[in-house]
Structure 1
Amino acid sequence: MSDTVKIVIGNRLGKGQAVAEGVRKAGLEAVLIPGPGADMKVGDVMAAEGAVLGLSFCGSGGAGAVTAKAKYGHDIEFGMRSAEAGVTAIQQGKRVLGFGFLDTEELGFKIAQALQKELDSQAGTA
């Protein structure tokens, strides 16, 4: 198993570059799914990459997350519109987060920091 913590990012419009940059700045690995409809592939790419967290972005903030739950049983939260909502979802143990279109570096950074903090506390290193 790799020590690298991966976060998969899928955006319905094929974006997500700013979120990915924020994840990288926080020290984690961003796996950005290319192309339109990427939100619907989040669960599949998480499984293929061994990712700990998936971020899905679309108009409603739900389609990719619901698909990941249906196919892989991930704990999800969706319909979110802020980085703070995502941080709270991570603290509650959610592993696929669905957002509206929020391609911001701040969101990626805060989400990655919150995930690392949760993983460290689970490992007893926090």
Structure 2
Amino acid sequence: MSQDEAPQLTIVVGHRLGKGQEVARGIEEAGVRAVLIPGPAGDMRVGDVMAEEEADLGISFCGSGGAGAVTAKSKYGHDIEFGMRSVDAGVTAVQAGKTVLGFGFLDTYELGHRIATELVRRAGAHA
């Protein structure tokens, strides 16, 4: 299968306060499709939207960095890492095969770009 025929990777982003635009921008500029859940409490719907979109990864943002990730694990069985506060922690979680990442409020381009880049690298290694 050529690069052009490869299925598009998808990352769902849910933010407690209805944000996440910067992370989504970083994801898309890394060549990965971003699905940004609109409105407040998006973090709590990450697992649901991942199922609807057949997404490869979910990113949840809230104060504690855990509510949406834990909900996705309990409802859909996702392998999660939560309570993260740095980009490096997120990259390490993707390397470890986690499918939902829970962060405190860290809506940055760098986070989206580096997480998406690592997901692409990991997907290529498993192709």
For the aligned residue pairs, the C-alpha RMSD in angstroms reads: 0.8
* Equivalent in the alignment of 2:47: 43
TM-score by length of 2: 0.95
In structure 2, give the amino acid aligned to 1:39: D
The offset of 1:4, in angstroms, is: 1.1
* Equivalent in the alignment of 2:14: 10
What is the CA–CA distance in structure 2 between the aligned matches of 1:4 and 1:114, rounded to whole Å?
14
Structure 2 matches for 1:91-102, cutoff 5 A?
Answer: 91-102=95-106
Helix, strand or coil: the match of 2:125? helix
Helix, strand or coil: the match of 2:126? helix
Whether 2:25 is the aligned partner of 1:21: answer yes
Residue 119 of structure 2, aligned match among 106, 115, 119: 115
Q: Could you list the runs of 5+ residues in structure 1 that have no partner in the other structure?
A: none
Q: How many residues align?
A: 122
Helix, strand or coil: the match of 1:20? helix
Helix, strand or coil: the match of 2:101? strand
Deviant stretches of 4+, over 4 Å: none
Aligned residues with identical type, % of pairs: 68
What is the CA–CA distance in structure 1 between the aligned matches of 2:89 and 2:13, rounded to whole Å?
17
What is the CA–CA distance in structure 2 between the aligned matches of 1:115 and 1:102, rounded to whole Å?
18
